[in-house]
Amino acid sequence: YYPSCWQTAQQTKAEHSDIHGFSTIADIMTALNPFSGWLWVHAVKAQILAREAGVLIYGRHSHPPMLIPGGIGTDLSVGESLFTQYMYRLTTLTAMAKVVIAAWMDLANFLIDNCDYQYQGLTYSAPTYISSYGFESPELYSSLGESYDEIYKNYDSLAQTASEGPQTVFRATIVRNGELLSKSFIDLNVGQLEFVNSSYYHDWAHITSPFTETDPLGNKLAWGLTESDGTPLYMYHPWNKTTIPNPQAMNFMDKYSWDAEPRLSWKDGTMWPYETGPWARLHAVAHYHPNSPIVKNGKISITLPTISEIPSWLPSGSMAEWTVEWEPPNYSTTLSRILGRAVDIAAAVFTAWDNLQYGLELFMKNQTSPKTSRPWKQPSFSLGVGQFEVPRGTVRHWIVNKNYSIANYQYHAPTTANVSPRDNRCNGPWCINGQAIGAFEMSVINTKVMEEVPPDQWVGYDFVRAIRSFDPCLVCAAHFEIKGKVNRSIDHLITPVCNT
């Protein structure tokens, strides 16, 4: 932190000190110091607890081997012990969540009020994102049908009619330039395209054949739109994509990234880049899903329960019930993304408690004859698409099965969209000089240097913060290179922190 900001922080009382135990904002700042700060050290400890909780049920974390088609292969002969051990860890994690959320709320509000940081790292002038907000209900998903086309056909109607409690389905949200375009999963799939104009790949559209021109309902992919040369845009849908690496020297006027260029197209012929992440997820919930159990009066409102017993290393203030409230702003900035991630922890805790109760009910009901799967026939040809929310945002998968085997598989991590390099495939007022620019680049463009030293001493903290606010995993990977030398690098990693 910069001298003037630090001096003010030393004199500013922390609003939620009764929860996190830090007297001043400076105490919170110090607690975030890598390797030595209280928050940093105990966040690692909490992460270990969370992994242990996952291992109890899934056998390993990440990449759990006990998740199998049709259910979970965990031996439930000791199920009561598994649930008890899981609940013990969840109580500690709930208390720690209160500490982390309260600390970040105090720090973010301070930086906005005192350090001119409110609009640092702004992406787009109006919300432009996708979200797949929701939770999982095996029963509801099982009711969609038996065949892939039947499941696809019924998804939107189920999402529109199912309750919005924790045991429900994912709901798509497409927002462009502040306007809600659709809450249809089918629209989100049909309009998805991926290009490689600025990426280290060969364009496949003219050298491969499509697997499909339509979705299972007969909707033309990319709405039937074509390029100026007549190339149908459905060739750029993930179902038809072929990944052909084309490594070469970095050239910012041509190709400069290993990431591809996800774009959304719409029925009116427009095309644009977009972002995703916890801020987008919670903005979508608060503004467009008012019946969600985590929404009250247009705000995120989540009550974290009382914890009767905590480890000695946690502050006593983390035991009391606390209602986390946050109104996601209509812009994505460095701080709104960080706050979104903090508040999203509360949503995860809320869901974990609900799922624990639900799991216990199923376990007690089916101890002797648990139902884990249902009959399923493998089709000779099928199309698959799935959406899911992970900590970094919306993740999506596409698969084509042909002759009983996988013919094509494509994947969009949240970072695939956010780090997307720029290209000229953009039209509409959200474009900049006719260019589509990804969220990472936009956040850097809209970040000003706040360092209080001469330019030759700048180290780029503000830019690094803007990028890392999208994805904490980039703490392991984002470095500045000065005069051919690495200025900052990771020397030792205590625990694996980067997972999909």
* Positions at the binding site for Fe cation: 476
Chain centroid offset of residue 85 CA: 28
Give the 3-state secondary structure of residue 310: coil
Question: Which residues are CB-neighbours of 138 under 8 A, at least 6 positions away?
Answer: 71
Compute the distance between CA of residue 495 and CA of residue 478 in angstroms, rounded to an integer.
18
Compute the distance between CA of residue 104 and CA of residue 334 in angstroms, rounded to an integer.
13
Compute the distance between CA of residue 141 and CA of residue 146 in angstroms, rounded to an integer.
10
Compute the distance between CA of residue 270 and CA of residue 395 in angstroms, rounded to an integer.
23
Nearest CA-CA partner of 189 in 153, 162, 157, 158: 153
Detail the residues annotated as belonging to a binding site for Mg(2+).
Answer: 479
Length of the chain counted residue by residue: 500
* DSSP character at residue 76: G
Compute the distance between CA of residue 345 and CA of residue 149 in angstroms, rounded to an integer.
35
Q: Is 288 left (phi over 0), alpha (psi -120 to 50) or beta?
A: alpha
Number of H-type helices and E-type strands within the chain: 13, 16
Give the 3-state secondary structure of residue 135: coil
Nearest CA-CA partner of 129 in 298, 284, 335, 292: 284
Classify the C-alpha dihedral 111-113-118-120 as positive or negative. Answer: negative
Compute the distance between CA of residue 73 and CA of residue 52 in angstroms, rounded to an integer.
17
Question: Which residues are CB-neighbours of 125 under 8 A, at least 6 positions away?
Answer: 177, 331
Detail the residues annotated as belonging to a binding site for Ni(2+).
Answer: 473
Residues 305 and 356 sit within 8 Å (Cβ to Cβ): no
* DSSP character at residue 422: P
Percentage helix, strand, coil, to 5, in the chain?
40, 15, 45
Residues 46 and 90 sit within 8 Å (Cβ to Cβ): no
Nearest CA-CA partner of 46 in 309, 308, 324, 310: 310
Nearest CA-CA partner of 173 in 221, 223, 133: 133
Residues 423 and 435 sit within 8 Å (Cβ to Cβ): yes
Compute the distance between CA of residue 413 and CA of residue 382 in angstroms, rounded to an integer.
22
Detail the residues annotated as belonging to a binding site.
Answer: 473, 476, 479
